[in-house]
Structure 1
Amino acid sequence: MDLRALACLAALACPAGAETVRIATWDPGLSRDGPGLLLRDIGRDDPQVLAAAQVIAANAPDVVLLTGFDWDLDSRALEAFAALLERQGHPMPHRFSAQPNRGLQTGLDLDGDGRAGQPRDAQGYGDFTGQQGMALLSRLPITGVTDHSAALWRDMPGNRMPPSDHANVQRLSSSAHWDIALQGADGPLHLLAFSATPPAFEDRNVARNHDEAAFWLRHLPKAPFIVIGNVNVDPADGDGDAAALEALLQVTQDPAPRGDWQPPQTGPNADHLGDPALDTAEYDRPPGNLRLDYVLPAQGLRVVGSGVVWPAPDDPLAEAVATASHRRLVWVDLDLE
């Protein structure tokens, strides 16, 4: 019995013959230290790349947003990775990516260290343009994309941007904000996709992380939608401000995807308040394991299953999951009929 059938049985919500659509998000660790290196590694069957493909193919999403995937101008790495997935028996013919803000230099000394052209002087932290970008792979046709990534932080109503001499340059998105329209069974389904900066490393990052999530509160489409991606904030643990996430949860539904297994809640996890089964990121140092990755369907959509791919150590998929990334793939099954 496959994962979707199990999800239907668990939810007791799938009518006979109903077809579900699996929507997933994951940071698969498909980012490298320089441009072109990811394409090189895909071409030479790098073990970490193969592990990432194995995890995706094993869970068979109809749509997956990758929030840690290096962008290149001609999408050669994305095309090569899609070909690898097809060889593993999981073709995803529809794809989208665009230049992210990570590594996109402003030409200014944004962090005030006296040097321009450094990673922190880019619109989003990155050693090169496209590092840690985003990509979408889909079995559903993509009917349109609205890219909000160039929006200035200062122009967002109610923003928390600290006073800055560079307010007329600094964009809100540390990576990207995309409204991706997919062709669903009864009309368009909008993915409100983003990957927020971690609320760490710089004082302003807590405010930026909050505002990147809050952005979608003012850009909700009238059509069915899903807020999806690396929100990079845990509602109970860690250092972020979860107020914007909590506001998004008022206009969506939280399927609360759970993993099958969690490591012992010791060390940096010992004082955590959140349910460890909801965690999607593994850290062996403070702040410990956190829930950072989300698939949040609009309230009118029908959820029939969900999960976090965190298998027990003796599971056949466990080695691939651990090899690929410290993040865990999150999936939600929807009945769109």
Structure 2
Amino acid sequence: MVLASEDVPAAAPAVAVSPSVPPPVPAGSVRFATFNTALSRQRPGAMASALASGGWRLARAVAETVQRVRPDVLLVNEFDHDPTGRALELFVREYLERGWNGSEGVEFPHVFTAPVNTGVASGQDLDGDGRVVVEPGSDAYAGDAFGFGRFPGQYGMAVLSRYPLDAERARTFRLLPRAAMPGALVPVDPASGEPFLSPRAWAAARLSSKSHWDLPVDTGWGRPVHLLASHPTPPAFDGPERRNVLRNHDEIRFWADYLTPGADGYVRDDAGTAGGLAPDAPFVLAGDLNADPRNGSSLPGAIDRLLAHPRVADPLPHSQGGRGRAGSAAGAPGHGDAFTEDTPPGHLRVDYVLPSRDLAVGDRGVFWPAPDDPLARLAGAGPPFPVSDHRLVWVDVSR
């Protein structure tokens, strides 16, 4: 692959000690993290080809960011799903395991990935433009896919871990119909007052824009910690019917129902098993949820349903870079510290690591170096951004 000029590796010296680098994980604790890497490309196979070059500057910067934080369990969003596993293998071997700019390589011997809804043809008119597009590659096709994507697997997810992952007991909810959720928010054409989607299209629509995963992690604590991973659709890029705003709300609501006995009656995973998470099971809920509790375009209260859930703890991670970048936009004390997406002029908290209340929360943070930080080059102002417009979020938890 011929690299574009902006992808040519830039030399950078080893850095001095940075206040953005967290201390080592304490004994008995596990560091969970989520990172929307923005590594997805516009064509099938393009991400794997770029990774194979060994010189993809964006992937190097993503890898260095991970190496600086050194999580034990990492969810990556916007990482194209490759059924062969080649892309994930390349990323781990050629980027994460190789140190960059003075950082030390990190090994993740356990990985998990699975198909997602993005770019999978639905055969229905899901974007309401009056036609059904079944040929991949265009935005028109992406709009009719089960999740917005120009090809199957675009904007996928993967989990990397130092601890064993119980893939055999993993539950995925990619196929769950949106209509199965009682009280799902149905988009309506405000001009006519009629449902935006035809009955056939609504019946075909799936709840998850990518997928929802319940992945048990063997932390050595005698019982697994369930990583609840997802990446709901952005509450944008729609019309007055607000179909993506409403879907974002319902994708987040799914987790609240999954954690609430009595509200999980409709929940059925892709293998046909019914029900939510056991009431006594520890978990960490993570991902780019695309909803800020105070700002942005998500439906009011969408993320609050999780943040206020009786089983969920909100660690409120912090960063000096987020606080300084947002300035007076921070609003209530502590909120600006937790910002994770650099979207001028708003600046949003949309990426979350939320442990269950039966886990003890230790250190936590958002990797967002301030402008005078030696690692500021891994954040920077954009667009374009040197890594991603999102920031890696991490939380240390213990029994």
Fold-level similarity (TM above 0.5):
yes
1:284 positional shift: 2.8
Whether the 8 Å CA contact 2:291–2:302 is kept in 1: the answer is: no
Question: Which secondary structure does the structure 2 equivalent of 1:178 belong to?
Answer: strand
Aligned residue number for residue 184 of structure 2 = 159
2:359 equivalent among 298, 301, 316:
301
Question: Which secondary structure does the structure 2 equivalent of 1:40 belong to?
Answer: helix
1:262 positional shift: 3.1
TM-score by length of 1: 0.90
Distance 1:112 1:66, change over 3 A: same
2:229 equivalent among 186, 193, 198:
193
Within 5 Å, which residues of 2 pair with 1:244-259? 244-249=302-307, 250=309, 251-259=311-319
1:315 positional shift: 2.2
Whether the 8 Å CA contact 2:330–2:337 is kept in 1: the answer is: no
Structure of higher CA gyration radius: 2
TM-score by length of 2: 0.77
Ranges in structure 2 where 5+ consecutive residues have no aligned partner: 1-16, 100-104, 135-140, 188-194, 260-276, 381-385
Residue by residue over 1:291-332, the C-alpha shift from the partner in whole angstroms, topping out at 9 and shown as x without a partner, is 000001011110011000000123232213341111000000
Matched, 1:86 2:97: yes
Aligned residue number for residue 273 of structure 2 = none
Residue by residue over 1:87-132, the C-alpha shift from the partner in whole angstroms, topping out at 9 and shown as x without a partner, is 2320001101111111111122222322413110001111111111
Aligned residue number for residue 120 of structure 2 = 104
Residue by residue over 1:123-149, the C-alpha shift from the partner in whole angstroms, topping out at 9 and shown as x without a partner, is 111111111111110111011310011
Distance 1:77 1:330, change over 3 A: same
2:31 equivalent among 9, 12, 22:
22
CA distance in 2, matches of 1:254, 1:27: 19
Within 5 Å, which residues of 2 pair with 1:25-174? 25-44=34-53, 45-83=55-93, 84-88=95-99, 89-113=105-129, 114-117=131-134, 118-143=141-166, 144-162=169-187, 163=195, 164-165=197-198, 166-174=201-209
Identical aligned residues as a percent? 40
Hey, which of these two has a bigger chunk of strand by percent?
Answer: 1
RCO higher in 1 or 2 (8 Å CA, sep ≥ 6)? Answer: 1
- Aligned residue identity for 1:81: F
Flag as ranges the 4+ runs of structure 1 deviating above 4 A: 263-266, 269-272
CA distance in 2, matches of 1:112, 1:244: 24
Distance 1:262 1:230, change over 3 A: closer
- The number of equivalent residue pairs is 322
Ranges in structure 1 where 5+ consecutive residues have no aligned partner: 9-17
Aligned residue number for residue 340 of structure 2 = 280
CA distance in 1, matches of 2:183, 2:148: 24
CA distance in 2, matches of 1:138, 1:320: 23
Whether the 8 Å CA contact 1:199–1:240 is kept in 2: the answer is: yes
Distance 1:112 1:207, change over 3 A: closer
Matched, 1:217 2:256: yes
Query: RMSD value over aligned CA atoms?
Result: 1.9
CA distance in 1, matches of 2:376, 2:62: 12
1:242 positional shift: 4.2
Whether the 8 Å CA contact 1:237–1:272 is kept in 2: the answer is: no
CA distance in 1, matches of 2:126, 2:144: 5
CA distance in 2, matches of 1:58, 1:282: 20
